[in-house]
Amino acid sequence: MTRQMLLLEVCCPSCNAALTEGQKVHLDAYIKDTHQEANLYLSAVFGEYTIDCDVAIPEGAIVQFRCPVCEQSLMLEIPCRLCGAPMASLNIVNGGSVEFCSRRGCKGHALGGFGDVDQMMTLVNNMFRTPHD
């Protein structure tokens, strides 16, 4: 039996560009603390929390995410429940959206792992609710 890997197929909320490249989600990032622009790759594999970035992101630094295609900010006005940093948001191709904390190392989602089991289940449900048309 093979376990199917859950890949998050995400797209930009502004321009709808697909941002999942292979098993990674490509985003533009601006690291506030160090004033650096970077290409950042989140793992698109569900349950995997690795990130690749071409510059070092200090633990606890806040990263501002942008769409690499249209340059629109992905940041929300909503603060992270765990640490108060702004949340970022991406649309899921199959419907719904995923929000994640912009602070490196925070347990509030993609940059540190999905911290909330309920939210994770909602996300899984959204991903499996694929319409067959």
Which residues form the interface with Zn ion (CB under 5 A)? 12, 14-15, 17, 67, 69-70, 80, 82-83, 85, 101, 103, 106, 108
**Which residue, 49, 32, 37, 58, is CA-closest to 100?**
49
**Which residue, 74, 33, 75, is CA-closest to 56?**
33
Compare residues 53 and 83 and give the one whose CB is closer to Zn ion.
83
Contact 102, 65 (CB under 8 A): yes
Compare residues 101 and 127 and give the one whose CB is closer to Zn ion.
101
Compare residues 61 and 101 and give the one whose CB is closer to Zn ion.
101
